[in-house]
Structure 1
Amino acid sequence: MNLALDFGNTFTKAGLFKENELVEVIRLTDQVEIDKIITDFNPEHVIVSSVNQSIEDIQSRLNDVAVTILSPDLPLPFKINYKTPQTLGLDRIAAVAGAQGIFPDTNCLVIDTGTCFTYDIIDNKSTYHGGGISPGISLRFRALHNFTANLPLIEFEKDVPLVGQSTKESILSGVVNGAIAEIQEIIRMYSDKFGHLQIIICGGDAKFFENKLKASIFVAPELVLRGLNRILLYNV
């Protein structure tokens, strides 16, 4: 049994794998829960990706387990063609590995609709070229509220008008329809540059965007966990 731990900006997830098969996903609320997972499942290998937790603190809970820490220096199943690989987000690395595992030898555009929107392209020769980062839905709502004097903080709603007839509706229309338009245009631009693409979408809002986009989309909610396990298998 392998364990993949993803400490993200918003959530922490644990994925339990038998080889390539994802057996169970557990959302963690406290690091103490890691102890219980280790006790209950006794994983042979663990891989950790963390953007917000001290690696030392995590390792202190995993003293008796073989731990692989994800970093740009770790051997990966693809080549990184990126000017500053040390600044490359670990979640982006893992998502690309997950996409490559599902669609090998294919041009893949990975779109993560989490706290930030990230766009990552890997080609059919296993070269990762980079991508883009923009604010996610919740960040856009908070920015409008925090940096203006009178605009309220709006919660994400899935029934969004095109023509807003109140301040709330206008914010919903601008943020959500603007995000849809952004993603659709980014897909078109990448398709123009790289040719045929497999579009893979993950992250908290993936299901919402699946039915809003014109392109054919493959939704992979646990793409980062799958990518972490693939990287782990590549290194053990």
Structure 2
Amino acid sequence: MLNLAIDMGNSRIKVGFFEGGSLVRESIFTDLSQIGEALKDQEVQHVIVSSVRKTPEKLSNVVPLLGKQLLFSAQTPVPLQNAYATPSTLGVDRLAAAVGAQHLFPERNCLVIDAGTCITYDIVEAAGVYQGGSISPGVNMRYQAMHTFTGKLPLLSGTDLPPRPGKTTEEAMKSGVLYGAVAEMEGMIQHYERQYKSLTVVLCGGDAPFFESTVKARIFVIPELVLIGLNRILEYNV
């Protein structure tokens, strides 16, 4: 019997299928109805939904449920002490990733880095306390900002590293965005390594492969970290 962890973003829906607490597969959908089609012949016990868009009041209309449907929000109990000063403004994906890291690396200080639309850095202390962290623009957002707020700079994309120094405007822009983001991440890791004698760095997000190959630090890359955290929160509540 399956439990589902559903992470609904603006453009796609990531679903983790869990059995006995273990992730057995992960799929990406564009519409909730596709999930129902994928689960026609399977029994689903519990579901947790993390969403930045409107969700149906009863997910059982789409996916037949035998148990509980949980919509993850700031009011949902989590297996961490949350020391964030404004928990109602904390992104649920940040908190879910923190829970996932604490579940996978218990009793260890963790720096959780999510390299997506924004790059977030979050600290979970060994005692199970979420302390908050930092938010900065992601790679594509940096490209977009330079194009939007200048008159002549083109809109670029991609993570192919240019030569240094850049000999063209495009190379110079890519150099600033990519090497700058790498330097930022390495600097954040070094800062928290000084603050915590023992630190585990956990990386997820769409740009994780780029940073894994370029950042000079020992990093655990776990793309499904948010889904693992959501499932842990689901288990904690049911």
- Who is 1:35 aligned against? 36
- Who is 1:179 aligned against? 181
Report Cα offsets for 1:179-226 as digits up to 9, x if no partner: 000000011111222222100000001111112112100000010011
**Closer/same/farther in 2, CA of residues 113 and 124 from structure 1, 3 Å limit:** same
- 42-51 or 30-39, larger mean C-alpha shift: 30-39
Partner SS for 1:77? coil
Report Cα offsets for 1:113-139 as digits up to 9, x if no partner: 000000110000000000010110010
Q: 151, 154, 159: which is aligned to 2:153?
A: 151
The count of aligned residue pairs is: 235
The aligned amino acid for 1:163 is P
**Closer/same/farther in 2, CA of residues 10 and 144 from structure 1, 3 Å limit:** farther
- Who is 1:17 aligned against? 18
Q: Quick check: 2:35–2:63 contact (8 Å CA) kept in 1? A: no
Q: Quick check: 1:10–1:115 contact (8 Å CA) kept in 2? A: no
Partner SS for 1:39? coil
Q: Quick check: 1:35–1:61 contact (8 Å CA) kept in 2? A: no
2:90 paired with 1:88: yes
Deviation at 1:10, TM superposition (A): 4.7
The aligned amino acid for 1:96 is A
The aligned amino acid for 1:4 is A
Deviation at 1:39, TM superposition (A): 2.5
Q: Quick check: 2:59–2:69 contact (8 Å CA) kept in 1? A: yes
Partner SS for 2:7? strand
Q: Quick check: 1:98–1:230 contact (8 Å CA) kept in 2? A: yes
Q: CA separation in 1, counterparts of 2:56 and 2:31?
A: 16
Deviation at 1:54, TM superposition (A): 0.7
Write out aligned runs for 1:114-129 (5 A). Answer: 114-129=116-131
- 59-68 or 155-164, larger mean C-alpha shift: 59-68
Report the identity percentage: 47
- 186-195 or 12-21, larger mean C-alpha shift: 186-195
- Who is 1:233 aligned against? 235
- Who is 2:9 aligned against? 8
- Who is 2:101 aligned against? 99
Partner SS for 1:162? coil
TM-score by length of 2: 0.94
Q: CA separation in 2, counterparts of 1:90 and 1:2?
A: 19
**Stretches of structure 1 lacking an aligned partner (at least 5 in a row):** none
**Closer/same/farther in 2, CA of residues 63 and 173 from structure 1, 3 Å limit:** closer
Q: Quick check: 1:4–1:14 contact (8 Å CA) kept in 2? A: yes
Partner SS for 1:230? helix
Deviation at 1:64, TM superposition (A): 4.7
- 58-67 or 194-203, larger mean C-alpha shift: 58-67
Q: State the superposition RMSD in angstroms.
A: 1.6
